[in-house]
């Protein structure tokens, strides 16, 4: 017999409804809090004359769009606004295709990207920045809940 809905005979329907509701709360409750944007954590790396800083939410959530901010600072502390910036999100413990969001320039050396982390664990987050024809790559680690 083919059923038109998912059913697990090991779980009563009421328990399935509770499990489904819990999943909706978990997924729907991710992201910003009612009080405003999430607190941000900053990491940075110096690559010769270029410093790449990465801001991510302190509590990176699963399956939720999260604002990630990359800041590029050149020699003498000058912000770099004319770069091409993108991210590569890789989970080293799971062989899957990397997520590669582009970052949009926001002025004063800031670039905004939207990242989605589909699994919990440690992620490698590569920041690629092409500045004056030269590509720079900084590697950061991000932990999801």
Mind listing the pLDDT tens digit for each residue in 83-127?
999 999 999 998 888 889 999 999 999 999 999 999 999 999 999
CA distances to 15, 57, 66, 73, 115 from 112, in Å: 41, 13, 10, 15, 10
Contact between residue 122 and residue 142 where contact means Cβ atoms under 8 Å apart: yes
CATH of domain 40-144: 2.60.40.10
- On the question of pLDDT at 19 being above 90, the answer is no
User: pLDDT value at position 95?
Assistant: 82
Q: What is the mean pLDDT of the chain?
A: 80
Compute the distance between CA of residue 38 and CA of residue 57 in angstroms, rounded to an integer.
6
């Amino acid at each position: 017999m083919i059923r038109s809905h998912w059913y697990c005979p090991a779980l009563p329907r009421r328990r399935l409804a509770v499990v489904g509701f819990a999943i909706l709360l978990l997924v729907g409750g991710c992201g910003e809090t009612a009080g405003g944007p999430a607190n941000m954590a900053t990491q940075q790396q110096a690559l010769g004359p270029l410093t790449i800083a990465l801001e991510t939410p302190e509590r990176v959530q699963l399956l939720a769009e999260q604002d990630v901010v990359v800041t590029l600072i050149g020699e003498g502390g000058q912000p770099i606004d004319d770069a091409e910036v993108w991210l590569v999100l890789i989970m080293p413990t799971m062989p899957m295709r990397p997520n590669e969001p582009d970052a949009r320039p926001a002025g004063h050396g800031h670039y905004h990207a939207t990242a989605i982390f589909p699994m919990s664990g440690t992620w490698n987050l590569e920041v690629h920045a092409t500045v004056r024809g030269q590509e720079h790559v900084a590697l950061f680690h991000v932990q999801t809940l």
